[in-house]
């Protein structure tokens, strides 16, 4: 049996620039971990992300790169999964050219901003970093890794929150602490 071999890249979109972090209604300072992993706008669709990657490959490697991706105009890149809420995506590409796609992702530095333009892509770019977390031969493993990561992030951020609250309440105030603990437990149940 002949099989077309693919690679699945699990990609994470990070926002290091504090100017692009979403503004919170409260005056509470940002939790940097949370802000770095902040959600992506809905302007980024699966097709648009694929187009961005293809353009980046074309910019870096020219016609050779596009040809290497396989497929004619559509290219061999498919976005299998894109979750704007967690800023995670799974990109499928041919195995022979996954390093091309990966380096193209590394050289990309922005996603479209929603508010500044009715049409997609015409607005300002929001600076971001694409980080490839996992390269996998099957989609299932990539998916499992994504789930594992999301779980771990939630736990980590919650821990940080709790620690922050506890640090703030130096002298007593156990009622508030209890309340926070309860809340977190409730959320855990919801998950």
Partner 1 sequence: MFYDLNVPYSPDDPEVPHTLNFLAELGYTTVALSQTINGKLPPTLTPPPLPTNAPKSLQLLTRLNLTLADPAQNQRLTALSQAYDIVALRPTNEKSLLNACTNLECDVISVDLSVRLPYHFKFKMLSAAISRGVRIEICYGPGITGSGLDARRNLIGNATSLIRATRGRGIIVSSEARRALSLRAPWDVINLACVWGLSQERGKEAVCEESRKVTALAKLKRTSWRGIVDIVHGGEKAKPEGPSSKQKGAPKASAPKASAPKAKETAQPEMVADNLKRKASISSEPVAEDADKPLSKREIKRRAKKARFDAKGENTT
Binding residues for partner 1, rule: CB under 8 A, are 14, 16-18, 32-33, 36, 99-100, 102-103, 105-107, 109, 127-132
Alpha helices in the chain (DSSP H): 32-36, 46-69, 98-107, 139-168, 174-190
Nearer to partner 1, 131 or 179 (CB): 131
Q: Residue 57 CB, nearest distance to partner 1 (Å)?
A: 12
Q: Of the candidates 105, 112, 108, which has an alpha carbon nearest to the alpha carbon of residue 126?
A: 112
Q: Residue 109 CB, nearest distance to partner 1 (Å)?
A: 5
Nearer to partner 1, 96 or 132 (CB): 132
Distance, in Å, from the CA atom of 117 to the CA atom of 123, rounded to the nearest integer, reads 5
Nearer to partner 1, 45 or 161 (CB): 161
Q: Residue 36 CB, nearest distance to partner 1 (Å)?
A: 5
Specify the length of the chain in residues. Answer: 191
Nearer to partner 1, 135 or 165 (CB): 135
Q: What angle do CA 51, 142, 104 make, to 5 degrees?
A: 35
């Amino acid at each position: 049996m002949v099989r077309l071999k693919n690679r699945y890249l699990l990609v994470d979109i990070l926002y290091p620039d504090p100017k692009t972090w979403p503004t919170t209604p409260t005056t509470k300072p940002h939790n940097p971990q949370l802000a770095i992993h902040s959600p992506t706008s809905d302007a980024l669709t699966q097709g648009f992300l694929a187009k961005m990657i293809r353009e980046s490959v074309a910019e870096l490697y020219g016609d050779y790169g596009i040809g290497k991706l396989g497929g004619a105009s559509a290219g061999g890149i498919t976005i299998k999964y894109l979750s704007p809420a967690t800023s995670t995506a799974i990109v499928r590409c041919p195995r022979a050219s996954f390093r091309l796609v990966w380096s193209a992702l590394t050289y990309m530095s922005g996603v479209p901003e929603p508010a500044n333009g009715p049409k997609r892509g015409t607005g300002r770019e929001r600076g971001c970093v694409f980080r490839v977390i996992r390269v996998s031969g099957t989609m299932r493993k990539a998916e499992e890794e994504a789930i594992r990561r999301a779980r771990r992030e939630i736990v980590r951020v919650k821990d940080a929150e709790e620690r922050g609250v506890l640090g703030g309440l130096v002298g007593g105030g156990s009622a508030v602490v209890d309340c926070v603990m309860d809340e977190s437990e409730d959320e855990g149940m919801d998950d």
